Structure 1
């Protein structure tokens, strides 16, 4: 994948992305809790999902390195297995429209949560709406909530978010998200906050 060059022309977009955590440059001390950015907290609360889980999913789905820090990038596409990072929402929308002319929508994932443009087409009026980072997070949170079953660990829902049928792909994905989650929560003991007895949004 070619590296994206973030130029001064992107400065306004980066400022607007502060609430999404994509412009937070400060270093996070080792083992310190990394509070999910405000946009994740809001989307998670609206769907009854732990904000730390939603943020960890976004890190796995669209995470990219900016100034040495892994952050979710809102204008990320995955077209038939090939990831793309675009500098602006406009660029990403143009690329998405081009991709949909040649690639089935079911093979295109979009945005922070890499929402599938085919299977979740009913959630938006048109595909480029998935590039609205707030809407994308809202949909990702809705999907996580739909995949969660009462009394089970949230990581099980995370696996089905990636692959509803489960199996080894879902298990590998759970493991990857769990590593991000451990970083976000700051220590292994904090994972207990996601057990079935405490399903409130952090």
Structure 2
């Protein structure tokens, strides 16, 4: 009981920064929810955040931030104002489109290939669950003889090839921006 209450309270404290990371300073990036999910899966937090930026990033008040209620249906992104709206559309989409053509949430988890990780597809729209699963998948794709960026490429396309190479480059660009944002400013 106490453990679940602590977890629930922690989740409530993380909600504002999950939905509006623009409120954070550069030193607080990635937001706490990403740091927690990354720590639990033993993956670099900046990598998890960079993957989410690549997968579900949208412009909010002049900054690109991951958006939790994002679907990608056969290559076409769809963004919603609420989880309820996203879930309703996800249910409809899955009646008409093969689940393997639908990606869901912050980490754009594939509704077909990742269905064994949830009881029903709308669970993938729960931001904390989505982050935990994305971090777990990144960890599963990691090979200690290769870089974490290689794991990110396999996260996107396990078979590798040109799509994985492009994805690694895109995530690498997000990582570079995060590093610059976190570096101390020097004044003359």
| TM-score class normalised by the smaller sequence | 0.7 to 0.9
| TM-fit CA distance, 1:154 | 0.3
Tell me the equivalent position of 1:175.
Answer: 169
Tell me the equivalent position of 2:9.
Answer: none
Tell me the equivalent position of 2:147.
Answer: 153
Higher relative contact order (CA 8 A, sep 6+): 1
TM-score (norm 1): 0.80
Q: Does 1:45 align with 2:43?
A: no
Q: Does 1:64 align with 2:33?
A: no
Tell me the equivalent position of 1:25.
Answer: 22
* Unpaired stretches in structure 1, ≥5 consecutive residues: 1-14, 190-202
Residues 132-169 of structure 1: per-residue CA shift (max 9 Å, x gap):
00000000000000000013210000000000010111
Residues 7-49 of structure 1: per-residue CA shift (max 9 Å, x gap):
xxxxxxxx974231x3133586xxx656210110110011010
RMSD: 2.0
| TM-fit CA distance, 1:170 | 0.3
Relative to structure 1, the CA distance from residue 35 to residue 91 in structure 2 (aligned partners, 3 Å threshold; closer, same or farther) is: same
Q: Which runs of 4+ in 1 moved over 3 A?
A: 24-28
* C-alpha contact 1:79 1:107 (8 A) present in aligned 2: yes
SS at 2:30 equivalent = coil
Q: Distance in 2 between matches of 1:34 and 1:16?
A: 12
* C-alpha contact 1:40 1:55 (8 A) present in aligned 2: yes
SS at 1:186 equivalent = helix
TM-score (norm 2): 0.85
SS at 2:21 equivalent = coil
Q: Distance in 2 between matches of 1:183 and 1:81?
A: 25
* Unpaired stretches in structure 2, ≥5 consecutive residues: 1-12, 184-188
SS at 1:25 equivalent = helix
